[in-house]
Amino acid sequence: MDKKKRIVIALGGNALGNTLPEQMKAVKITSKAIVDLIEEGCEVVVAHGNGPQVGMVNNAMIALTHEDPQQPNTPLSVCVAMSQAYIGYDLQNALREELLNRGITDIPVATMITQVRVDPDDPAFENPSKPIGRFMTKEQADMMAEKYDYIMKEDAGRGYRRVVASPKPQEIVEIGTIRTMVNSGDLVIACGGGGIPVTRQGNHLKGASAVIDKDFASCLMAKELDADILIILTAVEKAAINYGKPNEKWLGDITVDEAKQYIDEGHFAPGSMLPKVQAAVDFAESKPGRQALITLLEKAKDGILGKTGTKIQL
């Protein structure tokens, strides 16, 4: 590589596992892929999802209220903060260990508990659609709705789940600190789970009952840090059009305009590949020379070297 590139990596849930033991194993594999990029001369910032983890924390907090009626229900924003901390704990330790194993001793690793401001008038609050937590029976769901004022929806015949809003990120509150750490050479983990959603009330930041899409938050962070590349890691090596059909086509290097056309034609599934491609387009068109890459975790290095993945640029 000609020069040191600044990269923001958005880790998908498959890079973290679904349980604590799975996460402990997964972060070791994830760390190897990230340190591969550092060895290629890249400056890396890490963001991650928290879908299974925030649901697990939320369930644990609900169980606590059942055991002790004096315990108030824990706000979702606090559950997001908890998930950021314990994912960051595992991830930063695994990254530090992998760096030291390779003889890299001059890169400190740190997790930033990150708040992300959202607009209280975002239309997403009028139509909560992001499922979190476990499946419930109709009776259980009705009880949760009555006791906690949760919005419960039936989910594809599998039962009922709580749904919350997924507003667009407007501002990363701690971006100044994140930027200072990155500029000083730290390997920073930030915007975990899309960030802790907050709204501004004067000088007060109030937690919002929402979850922010981690790909959109990663895109915003990449722009704010003037990154060269946004890597969105997912469960497939490349994005595809006509996915699962006889005329399926895997996408390599495409332009922003081509990606927008594929979005308009409905090629990408909402809640799955669509937000990834939308975030990739947003970053790639934000400044000449910026690139977005969608690929598998274990193919990240090959993707940076131009060997695989879906690359989007102007």
Q: Which two tokens stand for residue 196?
A: 């802790």
Kindly report, residue by residue over 160-179, the tens digit of the pLDDT: 988 889 999 999 999 999 99
| Complete DSSP assignment for 136-183 | E-HHHHHHHHHHH---EEE-TTS-EEEEEB-PPEEEETTHHHHHHHHH
pLDDT the model gives residue 124: 94
Q: Residue 97: pLDDT above 70?
A: yes
Helix segments in 156-299, DSSP class H: 175-183, 214-224, 256-264, 273-284
Kindly report, residue by residue over 228-244, the tens digit of the pLDDT: 999 999 888 999 999 88
In which element (H, E) is residue 10 found? Answer: strand 6-11
Averaged confidence pLDDT in the chain: 92
Q: Which residues are catalytic?
A: 13-14, 130, 214, 276
pLDDT the model gives residue 1: 45
Contact 297, 279 (CB under 8 A): no
Using CA atoms, how far residue 188 sits from 105, 110, 215, in Å, is 15, 5, 17
Number of CB atoms found within 10 A of residue 258's CB: 14
- End-to-end distance of the chain based on CA atoms, in angstroms? 21
pLDDT the model gives residue 58: 82
| Residues in Cβ contact with 63 at an 8 Å cutoff, skipping those fewer than 6 apart | none
Q: Which two tokens stand for residue 137?
A: 């029976």
Lowest mean pLDDT among 27-41, 65-79, 190-204, 245-259: 65-79
Lowest mean pLDDT among 40-54, 190-204, 208-222: 40-54
Q: Which two tokens stand for residue 304?
A: 């940076």
Residue 99: phi and psi, rounded to 5, are -60, -45
| DSSP strand pairing (169-172 vs 109-111) | unpaired
Contact 183, 48 (CB under 8 A): no
pLDDT the model gives residue 313: 96
| Residues in Cβ contact with 35 at an 8 Å cutoff, skipping those fewer than 6 apart | 95, 98, 99, 102, 104
pLDDT the model gives residue 3: 65
Lowest mean pLDDT among 116-120, 155-159, 241-245: 155-159
Kindly report, residue by residue over 301-310, the tens digit of the pLDDT: 999 999 999 9
Q: Which residues pair with 290 in a beta bridge?
A: none
Span 102-122, mean pLDDT? 97
Span 242-258, mean pLDDT? 93
- Is 21 strand, coil or helix? helix
| Residues in Cβ contact with 207 at an 8 Å cutoff, skipping those fewer than 6 apart | 75, 76, 77, 78, 196, 197, 198
In which element (H, E) is residue 24 found? Answer: helix 20-39
Q: Which two tokens stand for residue 185?
A: 């050479």
Contact 267, 241 (CB under 8 A): yes
Tally DSSP H helices, then E strands, for the chain: 9, 17
Lowest mean pLDDT among 55-59, 86-90, 120-124: 55-59
